[in-house]
Amino acid sequence: MRPIGAAILLALSLPATAQTVAPGPARPPDALSPAFHKQRRELLRQALPARSVAVLFAAPVRNRANDVDYIYHQNPDFYYLTGYEEPEAVLVLFKEPQTISGQSGVTEALFVQPRDPAREQWTGRRLGAEGAKRELQLQFTADNRDFARAGIRWADFAQLAYLPLPTDVRDAPRDSADLYDLVATFRRQAALPPPDAPALAQARQMLQQYGATNEYQVLGYLRNAVRQSPAVAQDAQVQQYLAATTSAQRKATVAQLAGRYDGGLALDAALDQLRGVKTPEEVALLRRAVRISAVGQQEVMKAAHPGMGEREMQGLHEFVYRKYGAEFEGYPSIVGAGANGCILHYETNNKPQVGNDLVLMDCGAEYRGYSADVTRTIPPSGKFSPAQRQIYELVLAAQEAGFAACRPGADFQAPGQAAQKVIAAGLRQLGIITKDEEMRRYFPHGTSHHLGLDVHDRGGYGPLLAGNVITVEPGIYIPQGSPCDKKWWNIGVRIEDDVLITGQGYENLSREAPRTVAEIEALMAQPSALEGFKLPELK
Any alpha helices (H) in 25-101, and if so which ranges? 34-47, 76-82
What is the pLDDT at residue 22? 53
Interstrand relation of 52-57 and 159-162 (parallel, antiparallel or unpaired): parallel
- According to DSSP, the residues that pair with 160 across neighbouring strands are 53, 261
Residues 63 and 183 in one domain: yes
Q: Indicate if 348 and 370 belong to the same structural domain.
A: yes
In a domain, 538, yes or no: no
Structural domain boundaries, residue 211: 198-260
Nearest of 449, 464, 471, 534 to residue 503 by alpha carbon: 464
156 occurs within a structural domain:
yes
Q: Which of 71, 72, 136 is nearest to 110 (CA)?
A: 136
- What's the Cα-to-Cα distance from 152 to each of 147, 258, 363, 369, 518, rounded to whole Å? 9, 22, 45, 32, 64
Report yes or no on 8 lying in a domain: no
Rounded Cα distance between 414 and 404, Å, is 9
DSSP category for residue 3: P
Rounded CA separation 222/228 (Å): 10
CA dihedral 123, 140, 97, 42 (to 10 degrees): -70
CATH of the domain at 172: 3.40.350.10
Q: How far apart are the first and last CA of the chain?
A: 24
Q: Is residue 533 part of a domain?
A: no
Q: Are 155 and 126 in contact (CB under 8 A)?
A: no
Residues 144 and 210 in one domain: no
Last residue of a domain, one of 151, 174, 190: 190
Q: Are residues 316 and 453 in the same domain?
A: yes
- Give the model's pLDDT for residue 148: 97
Q: What is the pLDDT along the chain (539 residues), one digit of tens a residue?
A: 445 544 344 344 433 333 444 556 678 999 999 999 999 999 999 999 999 999 999 999 999 999 899 999 999 999 999 999 999 999 999 999 999 999 999 999 999 999 999 999 999 999 999 999 999 999 999 999 999 999 999 999 999 999 988 888 999 888 999 999 999 999 999 998 877 777 887 788 788 778 888 887 888 888 999 899 998 898 888 999 999 989 888 888 887 776 677 776 789 889 999 999 999 999 999 999 999 999 999 999 999 999 999 999 999 999 999 999 999 999 999 999 999 999 999 999 999 999 999 999 999 999 999 999 999 999 999 999 999 999 999 999 999 999 999 999 999 999 999 999 999 999 999 999 999 999 999 999 999 999 999 999 999 999 999 999 999 999 999 999 999 999 999 999 999 999 999 999 999 999 999 999 999 999 999 999 888 888 898 98
Q: Are 500 and 459 in a shared domain?
A: yes
In a domain, 6, yes or no: no
One domain, residues 219 and 71: no
d(CA 174, CA 318): 37
Please check whether residues 81 and 147 belong to one and the same domain.
yes
Residue 392 burial class via C-beta count within 10 angstroms: exposed 0-12, middle 13-18, buried 19 and up: buried
Q: What is the DSSP string of 87-146?
A: SS-EEEEEEEEEEETTEEEEEEEEEEPPP-HHHHHHH----HHHHHHHHH--SEEEEGGG
Which pLDDT belongs to residue 432?
98
- According to the model, what pLDDT value does residue 258 have? 62
Same domain, 373 and 503: yes
Same domain for 182 and 288? no
The confidence score (pLDDT) of residue 534 equals 84
Cα-only R_g, the chain: 26
For residue 309, give Cα distances in angstroms to 13, 303, 304, 392, 534.
47, 12, 9, 22, 15
Task: Name the domain count of the chain.
Answer: 3
* CATH number for position 468: 3.90.230.10
Residues 184 and 219 in one domain: no
Tell me whether residue 286 is in a domain: yes
Q: How many residues are there in the chain? A: 539
Is 109 part of a structural domain of the chain? Answer: yes
271 and 278 in contact (C-beta within 8 Å)? no
- Does the CA dihedral 480-484-488-493 come out positive or negative? negative
- CB 291: neighbour CB atoms within 10 A? 21
Q: Are 392 and 518 within one domain?
A: yes
492: β partners = 477
Closest C-alpha to 90, from 133, 46, 39, 147:
147
Q: Based on the number of CB atoms within 10 Å of its own CB, is 153 exposed (0-12), middle (13-18) or buried (19 or more)?
A: exposed
Based on the domain organization, do 305 and 428 belong to the same domain? yes
- pTM for this predicted structure: 0.89
pLDDT at 259: 67
Choose the final residue of a domain: 190, 219, 241. 190
